[in-house]
Structure 1
Amino acid sequence: MHQGTTIDWRASLDAAWTKRSSLWQNSQIDCFRVFHGYEEGSRGTVIEKFNDAAVIDYKTDIRDDLPHIKTVLLDLFPFKNIIAKGHQSLGLSLKERTHVLHGNDALATCHEHELKFSVKMDAPHNPGLYLDARDARQWIVNNSADRRILNLFAFTGSLGLSAAHGKATEVIHLDRSKELLPRIQENYRINGVQFEARNFLRGDIYKHLPRAIKAGKRFDGIILDPPPKVYQSPYAKHKPSGQDFSALIKYCAQLLNPGGWVLGMLHRFDFSWDDFEDQVTQASNGLLLPESRLTSGIDFPESLPDKKLRVSTFITP
């Protein structure tokens, strides 16, 4: 039998909501992390807002607390839908760890500056938009005009869509999952951005990039956002480890036009920011030099900077 925790959810959520006043008072943004439990009172619990929908993700068993959490959330904001999803590490069945707490719609459309994003609240993992990459998306919007952009590990395409919105001449998306390609197209559709299906590629990055190099493909910007553990591939000439930046940057350096940029996202805690940038410069044989740094917003409070998302942009001299 599971029991409720001793967390004062009302005090914790009220405090977190107040800290984020600059976000919920911003008419251009309706999606952000409401509660970052690692630093705000419940390790392993995060709550995210996507317009009028809320998603509670939990890695510790807080099932008995969920009705109270729902009540507190509804006191903070008139959510139409609230879903809670437990992590598979809890050892519970999908049915036992998934709870529709309020409303009955699992789809939502949220807004970040001029862009819209479609999210699936009941998706097993992320609903479709990584909220910690907000500033990275804005950087891409501002640095993609008249450039041909390659978006690797595209997921639902938010980063590449940001490039298209920023007047890129062409954006190519690559992801291994065929289920994600229609979601990229949906994000383009709801934003009224024209696209060609041939620019949404399903494929193994270790197969596709060498072929693109051999074919003489070139880009003016490359978005590189590998997961914390890159998939093993029969096409890789090595055993991919971690985010595998060393190998991936070697490919990217051969695909980049003079004056081009690479935006890389570091998700691992066993690398410092300086180590990451040195690794990229070394892997590119000095071609890529760090230019600027970005990180997650105030809705991702961390006492240790290396626990936050770290984004670096690199340019060719």
Structure 2
Amino acid sequence: MKDLINNLDAAYKRRAPLLGVTEAFRIVNGAPDGFPGMTLDKFGDRYQIQFFGDELLREKNAVVAAVAEKFAPVCLVIKERLSRSGKSLENPPMEVAVGRAEDSVGVVREGSAKFHIDLLDTVNPGLFLDMRHIRLEMGERAADRRMLNLFSYTCAFSVHGRLGGAEISTNADISAKILDKGRENYALNGLEPKQGEFFRGNAVEYVHWAQKKDLKFDAIVLDPPSFARFKGKNFNVREHLMPLVADCATLLNKGGLFMVSSNYSEFNLSKFSRDALAAVASVHSSAKTLWNKSQDIDFVGSGHTKDSCLVATLIEV
């Protein structure tokens, strides 16, 4: 177990620059941190282990003991993301290894914002850690802008945007439950929802409705899932993302910002950014790329496995 603790200590020290920024980050990102097929995420004093392979699953008890000794978690949840046959599981078996089930719920700080998390609420506890650095930047750029947050999940981009001085930040998501969590995050940060800020429905349908209403925004965040289904209709990023990017571009005011991202493992960052820029430029000929990014420093080895990948680009029109 000593080797496990030493590896945890080394991995944690590599993330030291994040300690003044956030209470939530990834401590272990698989093999590059000495833990093949495993991730360890910190959400304040609550921790989550995910097994994406059986390399360390066979040593689960030793891994739990090492994490417990090193970090003394209030709660530690284990999620097995692969079936015994090797198939990816979107509804993984969950086990509370330290603490009680009710201890899985808490609040974490990220920059000037706070967010509710629940380690036992499906795969993700309510905050996508690999988007942190992009959320923080979009919040800094939000002052006096009208924002649109598509596939908004728990509205973390909008919380940062409103705290950063956004005039309004409209959230579109198909899940009423998820939007309710977004409202809870607004309340947690002392934000009063404005009229029209929460739209329950298909993000694609919202864009088409906004086009008909001639609604305009100064910043758009488009971070879709790789696949989604709503009212019998499918959304697949390979086929549908770039046409949606072009549609979204019609909603942007001159000088507006457009952040497009995806966790789809087959996307290449340079090609993704070129395609996104071309889609926006079909509407705004002066569009230019401000940056291309992948995951932050806590995702060591990003892009080398299917469970750790991100492509993101920021475009100005």
Structure-1-length-normalised TM-score: 0.87
Residue aligned with 1:244, SS: helix
Alignment gaps of 5+ in structure 2: none
Total equivalences in the alignment: 307
Say if 2:15 is the partner of 1:20: yes
What residue in structure 1 maps to residue 38 of structure 2? 45
User: Relative to structure 2, which stretch is displaced further, 225-234 or 99-108?
Assistant: 225-234
What residue in structure 2 maps to residue 313 of structure 1? 314
What residue in structure 2 maps to residue 74 of structure 1? 68
Find the aligned partners of 1:305 and 1:67 in 2 and give their Cα distance: 27
Find the aligned partners of 1:94 and 1:218 in 2 and give their Cα distance: 36
Note if contact 2:29-2:38 (Cα within 8 Å) is conserved in structure 1.
yes
Q: What one-letter code is carried by the residue in structure 1 that aligns with 2:17?
A: S
What residue in structure 1 maps to residue 253 of structure 2? 257
What residue in structure 2 maps to residue 145 of structure 1? 143
* 4, 9, 22: which one aligns with 2:4: 9
Say if 2:139 is the partner of 1:135: no
Find the aligned partners of 2:15 and 2:3 in 1 and give their Cα distance: 19
Provide closer, same or farther for how the CA distance between residues 286 and 38 of structure 1 changes in structure 2, counting only shifts above 3 A: farther
Provide closer, same or farther for how the CA distance between residues 170 and 94 of structure 1 changes in structure 2, counting only shifts above 3 A: closer
Provide closer, same or farther for how the CA distance between residues 233 and 41 of structure 1 changes in structure 2, counting only shifts above 3 A: farther
Residue aligned with 2:185, SS: helix
What is the CA-CA distance between 1:195 and the residue it aligns to?
A: 1.1
Say if 2:174 is the partner of 1:179: no
Find the aligned partners of 1:164 and 1:90 in 2 and give their Cα distance: 44
Note if contact 1:135-1:295 (Cα within 8 Å) is conserved in structure 2.
no
Identity, % of aligned pairs? 26
Residue aligned with 1:167, SS: coil
Residue aligned with 2:226, SS: coil
* 135, 143, 155: which one aligns with 2:153: 155
What is the CA-CA distance between 1:301 and the residue it aligns to?
A: 0.6
What is the CA-CA distance between 1:199 and the residue it aligns to?
A: 1.4
Q: What one-letter code is carried by the residue in structure 2 that aligns with 1:87?
A: R
Structure-2-length-normalised TM-score: 0.87
Residue aligned with 1:54, SS: strand
User: What does 1:104-253 correspond to in 2, within 5 Å?
Assistant: 104=100, 105-196=103-194, 198-231=196-229, 240-242=236-238, 244-253=240-249
Q: C-alpha offsets along residues 211-243 of structure 1, whole Å, 9 cap, x if unaligned?
A: 11001111000001011234476568xx74437
Residue aligned with 1:242, SS: helix
Find the aligned partners of 2:2 and 2:239 in 1 and give their Cα distance: 35
RMSD: 2.8
Residue aligned with 2:265, SS: coil
Q: C-alpha offsets along residues 173-194 of structure 1, whole Å, 9 cap, x if unaligned?
A: 0011111011001111111111
Q: What one-letter code is carried by the residue in structure 2 that aligns with 1:154?
A: S
Alignment gaps of 5+ in structure 1: 1-5
Q: What one-letter code is carried by the residue in structure 1 that aligns with 2:135?
A: R
Note if contact 2:32-2:300 (Cα within 8 Å) is conserved in structure 1.
yes
Find the aligned partners of 1:144 and 1:257 in 2 and give their Cα distance: 14
Note if contact 1:266-1:276 (Cα within 8 Å) is conserved in structure 2.
no
Find the aligned partners of 1:141 and 1:78 in 2 and give their Cα distance: 33
User: What does 1:282-301 correspond to in 2, within 5 Å?
Assistant: 282-284=278-280, 285=282, 287=284, 288-301=287-300
Q: What one-letter code is carried by the residue in structure 2 that aligns with 1:36?
A: N
Say if 2:99 is the partner of 1:103: yes
Note if contact 1:266-1:311 (Cα within 8 Å) is conserved in structure 2.
yes
Note if contact 2:81-2:92 (Cα within 8 Å) is conserved in structure 1.
no
